[in-house]
Structure 1
Amino acid sequence: MFKNYVKIAWRNLTKNKGYTIINVGGLALGMAVALIIGLWIKDELSHNSYFSNKDQIAQIYQSQTNNGETGTGPAIPRPLEMAIREGYMDNFKHVVMSSWTTPQYLKYKETSISREGNFMQREAPEMFDLNILKGEKDGIREINSIMLSESTAKALFGDADPIGKTIEVNSQYDMMVTAVFEDIPFNTSFSDTDFLMPWDKYVSVNEWVKNSVDHWGNNSYQMFVQIADNTSMEAVTDKIRNVKKDLNEDSREFNPQLFLLPMKDWHLRSRFENGKQAGGRIKYVWLFGIIGAFVLLLACINFMNLSTARSEKRAKEVGIRKSIGSQRSQLINQFLGESFLVVLFAFVIAVAIVVLSLNGFNDLARKELVFPWGSIGFWASSLVFILFTALLAGSYPALYLSSFKPVDVLKGTFKTGKHSGLPRKILVVVQFTVSVAFIIGTVIVMQQINHAKNRPIGYDKEGLVQVPTMSEDFTGKFELMREEFINSGAVTEMSTSSAPTTRIWSNRSGFDWEGKPEGFQEDLAWTEVSPEYAKSLNLKIIAGRDFSREFASDSTGVLLNETAVKYMGLQDPIGKLITDPDTENPIDPMKIIGVVQDMIAQSPYEPVKQGMYVFDKDGNGSFYNMRLNPSQSASQNIAVIERVFKEHFPNIPFQYDFVDEEYGEKFAAEERIGRLSGIFTALAILISCLGLFGLTSFVAEQRTKEIGVRKVLGASVFNVWNMLSKDFLKLVIISCFIAVPIAYYVMNGWLQEYPYRVILKWWIFALAMIGALAVTILTVSFQAIKAAKLNPARSLRTE
């Protein structure tokens, strides 16, 4: 019986090659999209699965309220460590203080490289359960020890055994290699961690870290923890929530609240609004999951439509089978078997599409996905996927075709009824509703990205290069290097800054000024700069003046941005003093000498943060900011800069970043989502058009003789085209009017996440509707005009 079903299914498929190609091709595209989205979602959901203790690991986050607005982040003060260790260790297996992940220069003999890593306390390797390839797991217990990743060890030592060898860090201190750990995978929060060094070393070489041991206001550190077996994240959070507020009276006005953010939430749910968890990348998981489901649904709709549309051609087959004793269940099994065969072929093609496109998808999505050939779970899931798709695509045709009455069919009185095409019309409306909604969504995403891109950023990012200067070799050499670089002809201006142009690394509070409102809780971005900073960035001074080396008093001067002036309520800011009543780390009174134009240093989708630029007295900032000579090519300038750099720092690898590229990275996530959405939208439209093409060709085939009669009676090509096209156009117009309010509701909600956002314009929706109608007309017209141009004599010859 089964063999017979397969034969009949195969004959039907090969007999109607055009419909088979449309069916199999559409399903293959839909399944390929669903497969590749499934791999992407699995990778997102398995982020940090590399760590065996992931369910018990968390990071301590802190929420603080300034002037009614609550901000949340992982930055915590150093005294919190002792408070946790002395009062709450029953709740933890491990508590690990950590620096932020930063680049360091590592040198062994003549080899010098730059790698990123962390200073952490000695329990870190055990807590994260690093896979130690050489050496010992407790590799950072000694103050002068360092653990390297496998790739970093390879870069420094080649094939030689690195254990016990000494490397130089930042030309500042020597560290002995005690262990080599397996490279941490890409889909983890520590994929950039190429080395670990002891926390005690971090304290000993940085005076400001040493001095912050009792300073609750310095939130410059991270703390990772592993909770005890007999407790939960929620229970521990309840216990430590008010630790900072209870132990530090000065912080109470900000109502600091501590909590644990589990490792499973670091990647997908790390966004907070006003102190409350508000999602994150999980929205993209839901978005692509929905897209994948709908694209697959569109492909299944094609199968249903074409199968039911051809029902009359198989009516006699059903009638004969029923008249000789076939049960309805047997017919249902046969049609489901045909569906399974089509889906199986489609799945094989879909796998081939995924394999061929995976590298391109990885580049586009910034992933490292691999096809799981050896995964039993994947193939088991694929079998379920095939069965589910076959059932979804074949259930309606099977139930519909098997319901025909044999007497009516064989007597020739069988009619499908005037409402028999209604289900197909409904499915076409569903298809194009989804497609039009996808078009609108993709256009709005790209509009939002371009809206932020076109926002004035306050400085000239073109031709601006930044060079990190974390080594001790740079100390005291700024004036010399500035002169050397400018004299080389490759640089027109150069400055230093304590943070990169596209980031804010430090925020400070606790200042006083004339007219400060009672109880005002300020929060200001703090950047130390050399006097040439505004010139090197082409940053506009809109009031007062810039820093000048000619005025010794400028060493206590400060520049404010426009937002800071408004934020602080200063009517005439020039000459006003900003003081610091802090008794732990006081600073000299600062005089406001100028106001600079707002510049975007954080997210371009967020308002500019109030900031202050203070005089870098030592000239030892973390970055050189260089304005390239516009009369020469960038490559020429970089080559000259590298030559000069190597003359003075022969043992340090030359690193640089174009600020415009760094700024462009701020749009990377949204642009990836936009491009992927655009591709999936195009595929959804293609699948819908395939179905429409198949239906149009079938309708034209059904009405061949009618078209012949009409042409004999004088109908024009346009009359025939209009007859065949108008019903489909009506369905697409209905789809547009359903899709527009749905898309508006969904995308308006999505845009609310961005304070700086595009306004939804009517033309976006009109454009999507016109586009859908244009695609429909093109798709339908091909078959309609082809049918209209047929010689009526050929159409009527069999009568």
Structure 2
Amino acid sequence: MLKSTFTAFYRSFVRHPLYALLNLLGLSLGIAVFIALSLFYRFETSYESWSPKLPQIYAIGMRFHFPGMTDNTGDGSMGGLLEELKTAYPQTEGTRYWPNSVIVHKGADVFNEQIDLVDANFLTFFGVPVVYGNSANALSDPSHVVLSASLARKYFGVTNAVGRTMILNDEEGLKNYTVSAIIADLPKNSVMKLDILRLLTPQRTALKYNWHHWGSVQVGTYLKFKNRTEAYAFAAQFPAFTDRQAGQSFGADVMPHKVLELKLIPLADVHLISPKLKAAVISLGVVGIVALALALINYVNLATARAGLRAREVAVRKTLGAAPLVLRLQFILEALLTLLLAFVVALSFVELSLPLLNSAGGLSLKLDYHADAIWIASVLAIVMLAGLIAALYPAFALSAFKPAQVLASSRTPGGGRTAGILRTGLAMVQFTAVAVAFILIMGFMLQIHHIQNADIGFQRSNLMIVNSIRDNAVTQSQRDAFAVEARALPGVSYVTIANAIPGDTSMINNSSIVRPGQVDSATESPTVSSSIVGPDYFELLGTKVLVGRIFDVQRGEDQMWDDKTSDKDRVYSVVISRRTTKDMGFPSPQAALNQIARFNDHTVRIIGIVEDMRFYNPNEPIPAKLYAFDAHASDSVVGMVRYQGLSAPAMREKLQHLWRQIAPAVPFDVTSAADNLDKYYKPERDRTNLFTMGAGIAALIGCIGLYGMAAFNTGRRVREIGVRKVLGASAGQVVRLLLLQFLRPVAIAGLIAWPLGWLALQRWLSQFDDAIAMPLWVFPLASGIALAIALVTVAGVAFGAASSEPGKALRHE
């Protein structure tokens, strides 16, 4: 049985190479897309899988229910939350992770790195792989640090750097630390970086005035439970715990758990905590499934189209006594061999395309046949099972031929009317999917072009952000000196210091603002995001002033309050955004001008209203903003430099040279505003690139199937074409006849794709705050592209058939 199956499989490839090649190519491409996007899906859904304790660990998230704030769950918490949980529930097992920046000194050189302040049990809690040292006591001493293997090689030239000393400078000052352990480098799919770890001490937490302030977010807090039931039982106590601990933090008449909700998030779900990101990852996974489905549809189409080529083989074998069951089993085994060969070819395609895929999608995917053996076997099993289901119909159709009818006829059967309808229907399904993909691709590209070029309220070009200024090692005199010296550089028009930064959410403070006579309530008062800005801030950004004025360093009332020494009865000047005027209930910006309000326990006067500025994710609404002025701002501020007439590299070089003169002990760190913002736009571009590649291959699979069907159908109509030409039909008429037959189902598929594409595109666009209007011309254009592709695919076959000589076709009649 096996020998005859292999023989038939080999002969089908040798005797009919065109069909065999088309079949193999279509399957291989579909399986390759499925493998590649499965690899992507596995990467995105396996974050923190390096931890052997993954199923037991949960992150604490916070969800705010304040007016005007986005109602999403975040994976951070108040710094002192774990301490309060342990006091209330002594059996609680938890740890914390607090990423910070640190300056590493290596001889005369200085480097910026991330340092993670963690609790002493962090390594054992997560089961972090330790290469050298003891995980149980590596973080027991505040003077010890734990390094990753790559960072140990960077600073010491060897992996085993245990016992070596390194100099670090952070909020606690310049100190020597001893390396107590080396941990393995974590994989790319990890939210945690874990390059330098140090003990989180009471001395460090004492520097944070809001460490126990309910509503603030500083650290990642993690708890461990034996099972999911125990975790859910613990989470059920959060509302009562929040009400006890927060007290009247949000007002005497507000139940704290109504405005601040604590949630437990499985560690494996933290990376995809954003519903929009999760939906995007799932969507690309679906594209892989669709590509595999289209490849299998293509296989069914070609297999049934080739039925006539094997009809006489089936008839002869049946005449010689072969049972239908044996024939079906043989055809199924042939299909599985084809799938197995296609899988091997698909792996080759994936290996060759991974560099392009990683570049286009901003990924770091790879195939490791040793480490991924079980996963590859699972993917193969899915492909073979899906292929087996698809092979059932061709196997039953082929084995159902009647020997007498086949051997008595001079024509090769094509499966009858039912098979023809099935092939046409499957081809329509293929090209419907292709047309929908083209609609989505064009919609994606138009939206991405829109958000990247839309007016976002400020000028993002020719704007540098000097991040080094916010380093704790920089003194106030150095900040002021940099601002003064940078203004004098050729090409620089404005310099300012502020913590309202395009593309940076590290310093977002939200508070309620209340007009006189309004109810001061956390559940009713509008919430605004406040920022501190320095001189020339709005001029530098090119922000449109709607009414009133902006800050003036000469006016004392514009200077921001100091919580330690300020007069609580003094009236301070603030500037608000257009969105804030709406949230505060003013009918227009003009109506808000010079109005008094209570904000952050201070009385403020609105001196100006500016246009909304989109600093953050284009998927989210622009928050209501309030700006306070500080001529010598120092609270987590960065420097901002507006320049003209110079290239970005030239400006960076000038700023770096200046920085080395002013603060040589602090590494220079500068980014452009455009690059800072691009972290929000790049993921959408990358996912669109992946989708475009998948859709392009799906279109190619459809073309392969259509070409195979056209070649088969044209071959069966050779005599008909000969007769038509003898009776006077021109080559053009024959071409028109054949093209209409092949393109009619494609045209119908294009029309079916319109409502499907519209629904899918509407759903995708709904995630953006500033979405484009649905362009109607996209739909006929997408259908036209699908039709044009089909036309090019079958045109060669049609012209070849129309050009054949009637005498050759009819010479045996």
Report if TM-score (shorter chain) is over 0.5: yes
The 1:114/1:340 distance shift into structure 2, 3 A limit, reads same
Among candidates 566, 571, 576, match of residue 595 of structure 2: 576
Aligned residue runs from structure 1 range 365-764, under 5 A: 365-374=361-370, 375-385=372-382, 387-412=384-409, 416-468=415-467, 469=469, 470-504=471-505, 505-517=507-519, 519=521, 520-556=524-560, 557-570=573-586, 572-580=591-599, 582=601, 589-764=603-778
Offset at residue 537 of structure 1 (A): 1.9
Which is further off, 479-488 or 691-700?
479-488
Supply the distance in 2 between the matched residues of 1:633 and 1:54 (Cα, whole angstroms). 48
Q: Is the 8 A contact 1:729 1:773 kept in 2?
A: yes
Q: What residue in structure 2 maps to residue 281 of structure 1?
A: 277
Supply the distance in 1 between the matched residues of 2:676 and 2:389 (Cα, whole angstroms). 47
Supply the distance in 2 between the matched residues of 1:359 and 1:215 (Cα, whole angstroms). 47
Q: What residue in structure 2 maps to residue 275 of structure 1?
A: none
Supply the distance in 2 between the matched residues of 1:181 and 1:314 (Cα, whole angstroms). 62
Offset at residue 228 of structure 1 (A): 4.9
Coordinate RMSD, CA, aligned: 2.5
Supply the distance in 1 between the matched residues of 2:717 and 2:380 (Cα, whole angstroms). 40
Q: Is the 8 A contact 2:462 2:648 kept in 1?
A: yes
Which is further off, 750-759 or 646-655?
750-759
What residue identity is the alignment partner of 1:429?
Answer: M
Residue 334 (structure 1) aligned with residue 334 (structure 2): no
Among candidates 218, 227, 231, match of residue 225 of structure 2: 227
What residue identity is the alignment partner of 2:447?
Answer: Q
Supply the distance in 2 between the matched residues of 1:509 and 1:778 (Cα, whole angstroms). 62
Per-residue CA deviation, residues 263-290 of structure 1 (Å, 9 max, x unaligned), is: 121122x13xxxxxxx343323432232
Give the TM-score, by structure 2 length: 0.90
What residue identity is the alignment partner of 1:334?
Answer: Q
Q: Is the 8 A contact 1:459 1:538 kept in 2?
A: yes
The 1:135/1:4 distance shift into structure 2, 3 A limit, reads closer
The 1:201/1:639 distance shift into structure 2, 3 A limit, reads farther
Per-residue CA deviation, residues 114-155 of structure 1 (Å, 9 max, x unaligned), is: 112322222222222222233342333333433222222322
Among candidates 179, 182, 201, match of residue 180 of structure 1: 182
The 1:128/1:12 distance shift into structure 2, 3 A limit, reads same
Q: Is the 8 A contact 1:62 1:258 kept in 2?
A: yes
The 1:615/1:386 distance shift into structure 2, 3 A limit, reads closer
Q: What residue in structure 1 maps to residue 242 of structure 2?
A: 244
Aligned length: 779
Supply the distance in 1 between the matched residues of 2:166 and 2:769 (Cα, whole angstroms). 50
The 1:685/1:218 distance shift into structure 2, 3 A limit, reads closer
Offset at residue 181 of structure 1 (A): 1.9
Q: Is the 8 A contact 1:242 1:258 kept in 2?
A: no
The 1:24/1:74 distance shift into structure 2, 3 A limit, reads closer
Among candidates 284, 287, 293, match of residue 289 of structure 2: 293
What residue identity is the alignment partner of 1:596?
Answer: V
Offset at residue 17 of structure 1 (A): 1.3
Give the TM-score, by structure 1 length: 0.92
The 1:706/1:226 distance shift into structure 2, 3 A limit, reads same
Supply the distance in 2 between the matched residues of 1:606 and 1:381 (Cα, whole angstroms). 38
Supply the distance in 2 between the matched residues of 1:613 and 1:420 (Cα, whole angstroms). 70
Q: What residue in structure 2 maps to residue 131 of structure 1?
A: 129
Supply the distance in 1 between the matched residues of 2:476 and 2:346 (Cα, whole angstroms). 59
Offset at residue 531 of structure 1 (A): 1.2
What residue identity is the alignment partner of 2:477?
Answer: G
Supply the distance in 2 between the matched residues of 1:446 and 1:131 (Cα, whole angstroms). 43
What residue identity is the alignment partner of 2:131?
Answer: L
Q: What residue in structure 2 maps to residue 276 of structure 1?
A: none
Q: Is the 8 A contact 2:238 2:262 kept in 1?
A: yes
Structure 1 residues not aligned, in runs of 5+: 272-278, 583-587
What residue identity is the alignment partner of 2:516?
Answer: E
The 1:373/1:774 distance shift into structure 2, 3 A limit, reads same
What residue identity is the alignment partner of 2:493?
Answer: T
Supply the distance in 2 between the matched residues of 1:417 and 1:663 (Cα, whole angstroms). 60
Supply the distance in 2 between the matched residues of 1:164 and 1:432 (Cα, whole angstroms). 64
Per-residue CA deviation, residues 524-570 of structure 1 (Å, 9 max, x unaligned), is: 11211111222222223222222222223221332211111222234
Which is further off, 696-705 or 646-655?
646-655
Q: What residue in structure 2 maps to residue 22 of structure 1?
A: 22
Q: What residue in structure 2 maps to residue 203 of structure 1?
A: 204
Supply the distance in 1 between the matched residues of 2:608 and 2:670 (Cα, whole angstroms). 30
The 1:12/1:37 distance shift into structure 2, 3 A limit, reads same
Supply the distance in 2 between the matched residues of 1:6 and 1:370 (Cα, whole angstroms). 33
Q: Is the 8 A contact 1:578 1:589 kept in 2?
A: yes
Supply the distance in 2 between the matched residues of 1:549 and 1:715 (Cα, whole angstroms). 89
Supply the distance in 2 between the matched residues of 1:727 and 1:491 (Cα, whole angstroms). 67
Q: What residue in structure 1 maps to residue 4 of structure 2?
A: 4
Supply the distance in 2 between the matched residues of 1:456 and 1:39 (Cα, whole angstroms). 37
What residue identity is the alignment partner of 1:665?
Answer: K
Supply the distance in 1 between the matched residues of 2:490 and 2:628 (Cα, whole angstroms). 29
Q: Is the 8 A contact 1:628 1:637 kept in 2?
A: no
Q: Is the 8 A contact 1:77 1:217 kept in 2?
A: yes
What residue identity is the alignment partner of 2:294?
Answer: L
What residue identity is the alignment partner of 1:108?
Answer: K
Q: Is the 8 A contact 1:134 1:163 kept in 2?
A: no
Among candidates 263, 270, 275, match of residue 266 of structure 1: 270
Q: Is the 8 A contact 1:372 1:378 kept in 2?
A: no
The 1:89/1:166 distance shift into structure 2, 3 A limit, reads same
SS of 2:729's partner is coil
Supply the distance in 1 between the matched residues of 2:321 and 2:334 (Cα, whole angstroms). 20
Q: Is the 8 A contact 2:574 2:608 kept in 1?
A: yes
SS of 1:622's partner is coil
SS of 2:559's partner is helix
The 1:390/1:736 distance shift into structure 2, 3 A limit, reads same
Offset at residue 238 of structure 1 (A): 0.1
Supply the distance in 2 between the matched residues of 1:437 and 1:202 (Cα, whole angstroms). 59
Offset at residue 311 of structure 1 (A): 1.9
Offset at residue 476 of structure 1 (A): 2.3
Offset at residue 164 of structure 1 (A): 4.5
Q: Is the 8 A contact 1:496 1:619 kept in 2?
A: yes
Spell out structure 1 runs of 4+ moving beyond 6 A: none
Offset at residue 726 of structure 1 (A): 1.4
Supply the distance in 2 between the matched residues of 1:300 and 1:511 (Cα, whole angstroms). 60
Structure 2 residues not aligned, in runs of 5+: 561-572
Q: Is the 8 A contact 1:83 1:243 kept in 2?
A: no
The 1:139/1:564 distance shift into structure 2, 3 A limit, reads farther
What residue identity is the alignment partner of 2:2?
Answer: F
Residue 359 (structure 1) aligned with residue 359 (structure 2): no
Q: What residue in structure 2 maps to residue 585 of structure 1?
A: none
Supply the distance in 1 between the matched residues of 2:443 and 2:475 (Cα, whole angstroms). 47
The 1:236/1:413 distance shift into structure 2, 3 A limit, reads same
Q: What residue in structure 2 maps to residue 147 of structure 1?
A: 146
The 1:552/1:420 distance shift into structure 2, 3 A limit, reads closer
SS of 1:534's partner is helix
Which is further off, 347-356 or 150-159?
150-159
What residue identity is the alignment partner of 2:285?
Answer: G
Q: Kindly, what percent of the aligned residue pairs are identical?
A: 27
The 1:78/1:22 distance shift into structure 2, 3 A limit, reads closer
The 1:593/1:377 distance shift into structure 2, 3 A limit, reads same
Offset at residue 342 of structure 1 (A): 2.2
